[in-house]
Amino acid sequence: MDSEALRKYSALHPKPAGLTLQYGTAGFRTRAEQLDHIVFRMGLLAVLRSKAVAATIGIMVTASHNPEEDNGVKLVDPLGEMLHPSWEEYATQLANAEEQELQKVITEICQKAAVNLQRDASVFIGRDTRPSSKKLSQSVIDGIQVLGAQYHDYGLVTTPQLHYMVCCQNTQGQYGKATLEGYYEKLSKAFMELIKQSHCSGESQRHLKIDCANGIGALKLSEMKPYFPQEVLIHIYNDGTKDKLNHLCGADFVKVHQKPPGGLDMKPNERCCSFDGDADRIVYYYKDTAGHFHLIDGDKIATLISIFLKGLLAKVKQDFKMAVVQTAYANGNSTRYLQETLKVPVHCVKTGVKHLHHKAQEFDVGVYFEANGHGTVLFSKAAETKIRQLVKEEKDDEKREAAKMLESMIDLINQTVGDAVSDMLVIEAILALKGLTVQQWDALYADLPNRLLKVQVADRRVIDTTDAERRALTPPGLQEKIDALVKKYKLSRAFVRPSGTEDVVRIYAEADTQENADALAHEVSLAVFHLAGGKGAPPQP
């Protein structure tokens, strides 16, 4: 390690005095102007991680659904997964080290993680469309070059595209070609294979309006358009030419406010969807003839995909284990429908994609979605091998056709991470194959009315939870209070959990009516305010 170069470059990316940040589920996220030293140091860390695992590591500059003024950075592990938890700690240590400590911290990480500095290293870089992203990704490159590693800068890509490239690279092309063309070709080919089987009625079925949150999704969808078959008529809105990223639009806005985004005019019964700022989340919605807005969130997406996969798995008659993984935020009626009507096992885990992904890996077919629209499907190696073998060797026509559709699903789904583009194509294919309208999909079950709130607190760490975040252990008395409040309403439940990124406590409540869900959420927010050190004025109803 060249100490002189490290000192020189580090001085160009100084750490603001007194700033400490934590590497969370989404990496680092904060105001863009506070990130320069962080991204430089994450360039260093990506090289160390690459040397430690002898594989290519990804580094993505994005703050996803945060406002345009923010930015962030996260690392991608060799198979396109999120950074290993033990390295999240190293990331935090390196980010917060004082200038003169930097070399010492790097040496410590190398010792703890058995990093061989003589090894070659390689890093893939991607960024979103934020005004600050180009300069920040240049700082990442500075960090990589200080440690003398190879890098490939993909420039503007969606977050899932970078995850995909890293996985392709480290599987020696088994997962696909590590280029944008490779990504577009693989997905469009699988999509066309799937919808070949559909006898879709009428043109209206194929029109889809997409709100791209004024983000990277618009650019990449436009690039992908030539790869789509004629029948797919996608109309892109909020494409970033006029308005600000994530401002009054995008999947997060639509989910939280339960209303359509700005910049997209909806006619009754038109199928619409929204991506988030870095295109790793998707939600669908429509307006009925009475003008009411209907949201179709991650729970309903998981349900649609599960119905389709369960039907195909029944036809191939293999003993595959399938399950759906949810978090405490999943609507109670979605869980009931999956377990009681579809008879599919459902598992609840802590919030955060890494927990869902990890649990889904335990099954032959693991479907996971967060209610916010982030999710995917994982197929075990054994299941994938068996399905591909059936396509080649199965004599029975029905079995072979079902295996063929499963094979196309395996290729269409981005198994590394939730991917709005890939998920959208999966959903469009299933709707076409099943001849379902958006209203029929929505009518599978009725969501229980719910409300999300947040309360500012002095320190979010006063709240500790258990049972996949469904019960609060501390502060004393809070869970008892919540239990008493929940008893007042029918079909109700509520839980609280600390935010992973800011000093707020998030509250979720559901009940038999919207009025009751709102009342319960408000009462729980008051309990949190009084028992967990609320800041400012008490929450108003």
| Annotated catalytic residue 64 | yes
Residue 370, marked binder: yes
Region of residue 202 (phi > 0: left; psi between -120 and 50: alpha; otherwise: beta): left
Residue 278, marked binder: yes
- Does residue 372 have a known ligand-binding role? yes
Catalytic residue among 50, 64, 132, 525: 64
Judge contact between 152 and 86, C-beta under 8 A.
Answer: no
DSSP H or E segment with residue 494? strand 493-498
CA distances from 291 to 205, 260, 286, 441, 442 (A): 20, 11, 9, 18, 15
Q: Is 96 labelled as part of a ligand binding site? A: no
Distance CA 21, CA 2 (A): 27
306 labelled ligand-binding: no
Tell whether residue 64 is among the known ligand binding residues: yes
Q: Tokens 């509520």 identify what position?
A: 494
Look at the block and give the residue holding tokens 């503007």.
Answer: 156
Q: Which of 421, 65, 372, 374 is nearest to 245 (CA)?
A: 65
d(CA 509, CA 491): 11
Q: Are 480 and 416 in contact (CB under 8 A)?
A: no
Is 211 labeled as ligand-binding? no
Residue 497 is labelled as binding a ligand = yes
Is 447 annotated to bind a ligand? Reply is no
| Element spanning 28, H or E | strand 28-31
Does the annotation flag 371 for ligand binding? yes
CA-wise closest residue to 397 among 190, 197, 201, 200: 197
Rounded-to-integer distance, Cα 120 and Cα 325, Å: 38
> Is 475 one of the annotated binding-site residues?
no
Q: Is 464 annotated as a binding residue?
A: no
Residue 500, annotated ligand binder? yes
Catalogue the active-site residues.
64
Binding residues for Mg(2+): 64, 276, 278, 280
Binding residues: 64, 276, 278, 280, 370-372, 497-501, 506
Binding residues for substrate: 370-372, 497-501, 506
